[in-house]
Structure 1
């Protein structure tokens, strides 16, 4: 996958828009970060992933999922897009979108 693939998925949902975060491309919902491209150009910063789930993802798929010390205390996982596929990324992205989007937007998309 690439960030463009992630963009195509997310921009098909209501209230998602392009933006930037820390100088990198980002996707936002109602001005809140849905996901952003990390400075390495390959990793997706994916908020909304509780630490216990993140630990399980990193353990089960270490080539795709990881985190750095910077993110250890936050509900965030990093996804190496070059090692991930849509079936891995989309459910996490959709769950975060649902958490940020209005109830009306979520209802309209289902």
Structure 2
């Protein structure tokens, strides 16, 4: 099970990330683009994810992933149940979501700076 603190730890070290509280949701943004959001009750985390791959992700583990609310279906977005994810599983989802929000050059520079490179 992950908590808001786990999401913060995965997100706030990423370049250009800012944390905001918007309508009781804790949102992680790059500029105006939200790439991750934690519900007020900390049961659900929404994150950027390609629309065309959303159905296959949910089908791969429906206990973990779910569709976003109807008003968010037009966006590259999916939800996960925070109780079904371990802290070790979280980081790749957050980094991949962040990569969708930053300029390609920023993402590539970050990935190259990791031990072992991209």
TM-score (ref. length: structure 1):
0.80
Q: How many residues align?
A: 109
Q: Secondary structure at the match of 2:75?
A: coil
Q: Secondary structure at the match of 1:100?
A: coil
Once residues 101 and 69 of structure 2 are traced to their aligned partners in structure 1, the CA distance between those partners, rounded to angstroms, is 26
CA contact (8 A) 2:45 2:82 kept: yes
Moved over 4 A (4+): none
Residue in 1 that maps onto 2:116: none
Residue in 2 that maps onto 1:77: 78
Any gaps of 5 or more consecutive residues in structure 2?
Answer: 113-118
CA contact (8 A) 2:25 2:40 kept: yes
The C-alpha deviation readout for 1:73-94, integer Å capped at 9, x for no partner, is: 4321111111012454332321
Question: Residues 75 and 101 of structure 1: is their aligned pair in 2 closer, same or farther, counting only changes over 3 Å?
Answer: closer
Question: Residues 104 and 46 of structure 1: is their aligned pair in 2 closer, same or farther, counting only changes over 3 Å?
Answer: same
Q: Does 1:48 pair with 2:49?
A: yes
TM-score (ref. length: structure 2):
0.75
Any gaps of 5 or more consecutive residues in structure 1?
Answer: none
Q: CA RMSD in A?
A: 2.2
